[in-house]
Amino acid sequence: MSHTSGFGPDLAEVFGPSQRDGGPELVQLLTPEGERVHDLPPEFEQFDLDFSAEQLRGFYRDMVLTRRIDTEATALQRHGELGIWAQLLGQEAAQIGAGRALRDQDHVFPTYREHGVAWCRGLDPLRLLGLFRGVDQGSWDPEEFHFGLYTIVIGAQTLHATGYAMGMQRDGVVGTGDPDRDAAVLAHFGDGASSQGDVNEAFIFAASYNAPVVFFCQNNQWAISEPIERQTRIPLYQRALGFGFPGVRVDGNDVLATYAVTQAALQRAREGQGPTLVEAYTYRMGAHTTTDDPTRYRLSDDLEHWKLKDPIARLEVYLKRNGLAEGSFFGDLAEEADQLGATLREGCKAMPDPRALSIFDHVYAEMTEELAAQRDGFAAYAAQFDHNQFDNQFDAAHGEA
Give catalytic residues, as residue numbers: 284, 288, 297
Strand, helix or coil at 217? strand
Q: How many helices (H) and strands (E) does the chain have?
A: 15, 7
d(CA 401, CA 393): 11
| Cα distances (Å, whole numbers) of residue 218 to 55, 335, 397 | 23, 30, 41
Alpha-carbon span 331 to 401, nearest angstrom: 52
Helix-strand-coil percent breakdown of the chain, rounded to 5? 50, 10, 40
Please give the Cα distance from 263 to 125 (Å, whole number): 24
Q: Sign of torsion, CA 340 345 350 352?
A: positive
- State whether residue 149 is helix, strand or coil: coil
Residue type, 138: G
Exposure string of 20-57, with b = 16+ CB inside 10 Å and e = fewer, is: ebbeebbbbbbebebeebeeeeeebeebbeebeeeebb
